[in-house]
Amino acid sequence: MGTYEYVVAQIDGDYAQLQRVDEPSGELKLVARALLPEDIMEGSHLKYECLQYELLD
């Protein structure tokens, strides 16, 4: 498993749409907010590593 950086593109209720920073034209990834740090907002940067998301901002 690799390490990836995401930007929170949109928050919609219990889910967030994430965009990989290295693939700006790629598809968005739908992730349950329960798996993400509580303090995220649209535009937040996240690091994904070892099945966990970490807030970078």
- Amino acid 7: pLDDT: 98
- Amino acid 57: pLDDT: 66
Contact status, residue 11 vs residue 39, Cβ threshold 8 Å = no
pLDDT in tens, 1-57: 699 999 999 999 999 999 999 999 999 999 999 999 999 999 999 999 999 999 996
- Amino acid 14: pLDDT: 97
Q: What is the edge-to-edge ordering of all strands in the sheet holding 4-12?
A: 29-32, 15-20, 4-12, 45-49, 52-55
